Homo-oligomer: A and B are copies of this chain.
Amino acid sequence: MPARHPRLKALPPAVALRLEITDERGAIAVIAGRVGEAGGRVRTLSTVRRAPSPDADPAARPMVDLELEVEDVDEDALVRALEPLREVVAIHLTRPLGKVFGKRVIVVGGGAQVAQVALGAVSEADRHNLRGERISVDTIPLVGEDAISSAVRAVADLPRARLLVLAGSIMGGEISRAAEELRAVGIPIIALNMVGSITDHVDLVVSDPVQAGTMAVMAVADTATFDLTRQRGRRY
C-alpha cells in the first residue's frame, strides 16, 4: 500500500451567506477581494443556480445565486463588507452546509447494492444524528469501469466527503487505481466482498451491504467508538 496522509480533519465552522449577484466576469474576484479586506478567509464560493432563468425573460440582466462560506469574520462584518458592492443585488443569511448536512458518506456502484448499503447507512446515521451528529449518506448508481473510476476520483473533490463505500459485484483495473489515489488524499474506502482486484485496494471488505453501510457511518461518527484504522485490511 502506498504512503498516505493521516486522516484529515474537518475545516472549522464558517459563517455563510447566499448572494444574488450580477453574472459578470470579474464579480467573483471582487467579492473574494472584499472578503479578504474584511479579514475573512473564503472557504466556499459556489454558483448554485441562474436566477431568474434566461428562458423566463431574455432581456433580464443575467444573475446567479452564490453560496458563500467564510472563516475568521463574523456575519455582521461580512454583510457590511458585501452590501455596498454594485455586483451584489441581495444577501440572504444562511447556515454553513457543514452544520446542516455534516459529514458525507458516499456510496457508488450498482443500483441494487447501493440501495442496500444506503439502507444500512441511513438507519445508522439516524441513530447518530439523534445524538447531535450530522451525517449524510449520498449515493449514485453507476455502471462501468470508466464511470465508476471517475466517480471514485471525484470523491476527492466533494466538500465534506469523509468515506466512500464501493457497492458492486465486480470492480478492478482503473477503479483500483482510482481507489488508491482517493485513499492517498485521506479518504478511506469500504468495499463489498466482490470479484476483481478492488478488495486489495480498500481499507475494509464487508460481505453484507447493510452492515457495510452501518460500519461506514460508525467509522465517521464522533458518537461511535469504531476505529477503521484498527480494521484496515480485514474482511467480514
Contact = CB atoms under 8 A, between A and B. Distances in A.
A72 B123 CA distance: 43
A47 interface: yes
**A: contact size bracket:** 35 or more
Interface stretch (A6-14, A192-200, A220-228): A6-14
Q: What does DSSP make chain A's interface, helix, strand, loop or mixed?
A: mixed
A28 interface: yes
Contact of A140 (B8, B41, B136, B185): B136
A114 to B, nearest CB: 5
A91 to B, nearest CB: 13
Contacts of A135: 140
A65 B185 contact: yes
A112 interface: yes
Interface in A139-176: 139-143, 147, 150-151, 153-154, 156-159, 161
User: In the complex this chain forms, how many copies of it are found?
Assistant: 2
Contact of A137 (B55, B127, B139): B139
Interface string A52-88: 1111100000000101000010000000000000000
A23 to B, nearest CB: 8
Contact of A129 (B33, B55, B143): B143
A119 to B, nearest CB: 5
Contacts of A41: 23, 25, 28
Given A33-B33, A51-B186, A122 B139 contact: yes
Given A32-B28, A136-B138, A50 B122 contact: no
A92 to B, nearest CB: 8
| A-B pairs, 6 with minimum CB distance | A111-B126, A126-B141, A29-B32, A28-B42, A138-B138, A29-B33
Interface of A: 5-9, 11, 16, 18, 23, 25-26, 28-29, 32-33, 35-36, 39-56, 65, 67, 72, 94-95, 97, 100-102, 110-112, 114-115, 118-119, 122-123, 125-127, 129-130, 134-143, 147, 150-151, 153-154, 156-159, 161, 185-186
Given A28-B45, A48-B157, A51-B186, 12 more contacts: A5-B52, A6-B55, A11-B49, A28-B41, A29-B29, A46-B46, A48-B158, A49-B185, A95-B154, A100-B154, A122-B141, A139-B139
